[in-house]
Amino acid sequence: MSGLALAVAVPVLSLCSALPAWAGSALAAWRINRSGALELRTPPGTSIEAFFEEGRGLVGPRLWIDLPGAPSRSCSVRGNGAIREVRVGRPSDNTTRLVVEFRPGTKLDPAQLRLVGTSADRWQMELGSGVSGLDPFGEGDLDAPSTPSWRARPPAAVVPSGPMPSVEGLPSVPVGRYKVVIDPGHGGPDPGAVGINGLRETDVVLDVSLQVAQILQAKGVQVLLTRTSEVDVDLPPRVALANNSRADLFLSIHANALSMSRPDVNGIETFYFQDGPSRRLAEAVQLQMLRVSPGSPDRGARPGRFFVIRRTVMPAALAEMGFVTGQLDSPRLADPAFRRRIAVAIATGLLNYLVANP
């Protein structure tokens, strides 16, 4: 969660009624459940942001969620226990803000506040043990049938990011035979590394990952993504998705960084945990990335102990596409055309591995 303190100016015009005040916005339903978790329902693919502000003195802490679309009016629902009030308002012409205000003295740990996408149209944030034991309350139909989980999304559900890269000339594998998990690193309030001109790792890796997924799907590979939008997914759920789905391959996609005072450091590297299939996978991806990045140093396919490649049970690798702090790599990573090329390269590496290791 972000510790950024923003002013919450949400006028309370009326109580929420049977007709949702947020009609026209991306907020379909919300609820505080008995265990002290905030649950939301939105249209599939909605991008939302979460913020937290610590309380002081007679003012309790509060968190708020911003969603696309403006509500028709503002409203307020009185809480119970540690929660004083929940408000829905309109901070700008095209934003819905849901504010959860806590009573003074309520202790929340910002590091534990994670808004996680639990399916294509469901979100959940655990508020901590100090907010449990509530009488549940909320607005809208949160128990409506869920859109199929992103863990089982059909290929058409992956949202394109820019033009579809060409798949002509790429290796072919039997349609439907393989399942691959693509893990875009970081996300949501965790942007990963931030480099030259404010280039954020999360923006680069999500764009490339979605394109890799498109390419693989076009070649008949079933693809699961650990996230498809700017949400925060912890490391264990990423591993659990891969292991529970019995995927054939796992690839985590990242961008590297060093100090902003070292723009001379550039290069591409791919990590594996164990020799054997994982090493061959890392080498296949590394080779293809280098081919579309002339002049970028080859930092090699190397052993690494990253959680997501150490705990997955299938061949797994973690690719670092270049340095967002590098004077050579950063402009490339910021270029949509280069992102398309490296997405094709990564997909080619994965396909080459599958062809060579049927």
Active site members: 320
CA dist 148 and 165 (Å) reads 26
CB 46 within 8 A of CB 119: no
**How buried is 15 (Cβ within 10 angstroms: 0-12 exposed, 13-18 middle, 19+ buried)?**
exposed
How many residues make up the chain in this entry? 358
How many whole angstroms from its chain centre is CA 62?
A: 23
Please tell me what DSSP assigns to residue 196: G
CA dist 182 and 315 (Å) reads 12
CA dist 214 and 337 (Å) reads 16
Q: Give rounded-to-5 percent helix, strand, coil for the chain.
A: 25, 30, 45
| Residue 269: C-alpha distances to residues 42, 184, 257 (Å) | 38, 16, 12
Instruction: Reduce the secondary structure of 29-90 to three states and give it as a string.
Output: EEEECCCCEEEEECCCCCCCEEEEECCECCECCEEEEEEECCCCCCEEEECCCCEEEEEEEE
Greatest Cα-to-Cα distance within the chain, rounded to the nearest angstrom: 65
**How buried is 277 (Cβ within 10 angstroms: 0-12 exposed, 13-18 middle, 19+ buried)?**
middle
CA dist 337 and 215 (Å) reads 15
CB 79 within 8 A of CB 62: no
CB 60 within 8 A of CB 45: no
Please tell me what DSSP assigns to residue 40: E
Q: Characterize the bridge pairing of strands 37-41 and 179-184.
A: unpaired
